[in-house]
Amino acid sequence: MKTILVCGARPNMMKIAPLLRAIKEHNSQKQTCSITPLLVHTGQHYDYNMSKVFFQDLEIPDPDIYLGIGGGTQGEQTGKIIIEFEKIAIKEKPDLVVVVGDVNSTLAAALASVKLHIPVAHVEAGLRSFDRQMPEEINRILTDAISDYLFTPSRDGDENLRKEGIINKKIFFVGNVMVDSLLYARTKAEQSKILQSLDLEKKEYALLTLHRPSNVDDEKNLKDIIEALIEISSYISIIFPVHPRTKRNIEKFSFKKFLLGDNRIIMVEPLGYVDFLATQMKAKFVLTDSGGIQEETTVFGIPCITLRSNTERPITITQGTNTLVGTNKQKMQEAALKIMSGIIKKGSLPEFWDGKAAERIINILISI
């Protein structure tokens, strides 16, 4: 079964890596149906630390095909990927295309494939924020609508798909494939020297990630977030790996002077996967607007303050360690101070977040 697996951005790589390992394991058992994987990297993330270093940390082989799409507007990037991926699909004639997550590469590859009558499997299907201002929400809805096999990370994903009219035989609850990567890399992360290089101790700092357009492209929202962070940093140091998009806007809005003032916000370049996991595992708490980090903190049992008014991963709130605060300065500060005073939300591990999701996916695909 010739299978193209598509990745394009950092969150995709944590989901692709366990799938490739599961395929390798399946093939090593000399099964009747073997899988021939072809890894296509669209190049949607073109910063080294946002892409290539993740291949190294996750032990992903070099892509068989690299499209080198790069940046651009939503339409430009999606359109370029459709054009280039279609050429690959026509040439390679795969039996199946596997897309993961919710980035532009996900939708573009799925759309190009389905128009060529190639079956599509979507890993991490069914997640919904119900906020169509988010580009990722549009990608999720459309990819799920046209895919043939929908692999969900949590039971609410199944329900979301059914409400949208997706028939049951297309839906497969398999658990969270991102957790497979996290558990696989955990030992490496425990051995990371990143904290020593930053002269920090376990639980004596908070970790921040910030990249969502609604937060960093909006001058007022970004200013409110920075002011709240400066206040929080008077109580605890904050490690801030700065996303390229965020860095550009900090400079554009002349906010760098605030961050370089007399506070304990430690701005660093984007970290590789292993070093980032290490900083996350050992943090007092995490502030983020990322989707995947809400899941990772739930697995680690680390309090997570999400700088968004909604989430496509509600299980991280109902069962995990996540709290939504939006971009309200007072709510951000209150949530951080509550954690520092010892009032910590206790979470539990959701069903099938056990490191075996990729194995389940491969077993289903070969049996169909």
Question: Annotated catalytic residue: which of 26, 45, 122, 211?
Answer: 211
pLDDT for residue 52: 79
Measure the CA–CA gap between 89 and 16, rounded to whole angstroms. Answer: 18
Give per-residue pLDDT as tens, 321-332. Answer: 999 999 999 999
CB atoms within 10 A of CB 51: 20
Contact between 266 and 233 under an 8 Å Cβ cutoff? The reply is no
- Residue 133: CB atoms within 10 A of its CB come to 10
Q: For residue 65, list its beta bridge partners.
A: 40
pLDDT at 49: 62
> What is the overall mean pLDDT for the chain?
94
Backbone dihedral angles phi then psi of residue 215, each to the nearest 5 degrees: -95, -45
Q: Examine the domain organization and report whether 22 and 169 are in the same domain.
A: yes
Q: For residue 266, give the H/E element and its range.
A: strand 265-268
Residue 295 is part of which domain span?
A: 192-340
Query: Is 332 inside a domain boundary?
Result: yes
Say how far apart CA 262 and CA 218 lie, in whole Å: 25
Report percent pLDDT > 70 for the chain: 98
Q: Which residues touch 296 (CB under 8 Å, ≥6 apart)?
A: 178, 182, 277, 280
**Are 63 and 41 a contacting pair, CB within 8 Å?**
yes
169 shares its domain with 205: no
Looking at the fold, whether 163 and 280 belong to one and the same domain comes out as no
- Alpha-carbon dihedral 350, 55, 46, 127, rounded to 10 degrees: -20
Whether 232 maps to a domain, the answer reads yes
Cα atoms in the Cβ-side hemisphere of radius 13 Å centred on 359: 9
pLDDT category at 51 given cuts 50, 70, 90 is confident
pLDDT surpasses 90 at 53: no
Higher pLDDT pick, 48 / 31: 31
Q: What is the pLDDT of residues 225-265, one digit of tens each?
A: 999 999 999 999 999 999 989 999 999 999 988 887 666 99
Q: Are 175 and 153 in contact (CB under 8 A)?
A: yes
Q: Could you give phi then psi for residue 159, rounded to 5 degrees?
A: -65, -40
The reply to whether 183 falls in a domain is: no
**What pLDDT is recorded for position 262?**
62
User: Do 158 and 196 lie in a common domain?
Assistant: no
Residues 324 and 270 in one domain: yes
User: Cα(348)–Cα(75) distance, rounded to whole angstroms?
Assistant: 39
pLDDT in tens, 272-305: 999 999 999 999 999 999 999 999 999 999 999 9
User: Residue 48 has what pLDDT?
Assistant: 58
184 within some domain: no
H-state helical runs in the chain: 10-28, 52-57, 74-92, 104-115, 135-146, 155-163, 177-190, 194-198, 213-216, 219-232, 244-252, 256-259, 273-281, 292-300, 315-318, 329-340, 357-367
Q: Which pLDDT belongs to residue 95?
A: 98
Per-residue model confidence (pLDDT) at position 368: 85
**HSE-CB for 14 with a 13 A CA cutoff:** 27
- Tell me what pLDDT residue 280 has: 97
Residue with tokens 């200013």: 223
pLDDT for 105-162, tens place per residue?
Answer: 999 999 999 999 999 999 999 999 999 999 999 999 999 999 999 999 999 999 999 9
Contact (Cβ atoms closer than 8 angstroms) between residue 125 and residue 162: no
Q: What is the CATH number for 264? A: 3.40.50.2000
Domain count, the chain: 2
Q: Single out the residue of 96, 178, 128 nearest to residue 364, CA to CA.
A: 96
Structure tokens at 26: 């399946």
Averaged pLDDT for residues 75-83: 96
Q: Do 265 and 334 belong to one domain?
A: yes
How many other CB atoms sit within 10 Å of the CB of residue 354?
Answer: 15
- Look at residue 218 and tell me whether its pLDDT is greater than 80: yes
Judge if 160 and 248 occupy the same domain. Answer: no
pLDDT of residue 256: 85
Residues 121 and 44 placed together within one structural domain of the fold: yes
Q: What span, in angstroms and rounded, lies between the C-alpha atoms of 58 and 258?
A: 35
Q: How far apart are CA 98 and CA 106, in angstroms?
A: 9
With pLDDT > 90 as the criterion, what percentage of the chain qualifies? 90
Predicted confidence at residue 50, as pLDDT, reads 65
Q: Is there a contact between 12 and 101 (Cβ–Cβ < 8 Å)? A: yes
- pLDDT given for residue 77 in this prediction: 94
Is 211 catalytic? The answer is yes
Does residue 37 share a domain with residue 145? yes
Residue 47 has pLDDT above 70, yes or no: no
Q: Would the pLDDT of 46 be above 90?
A: no
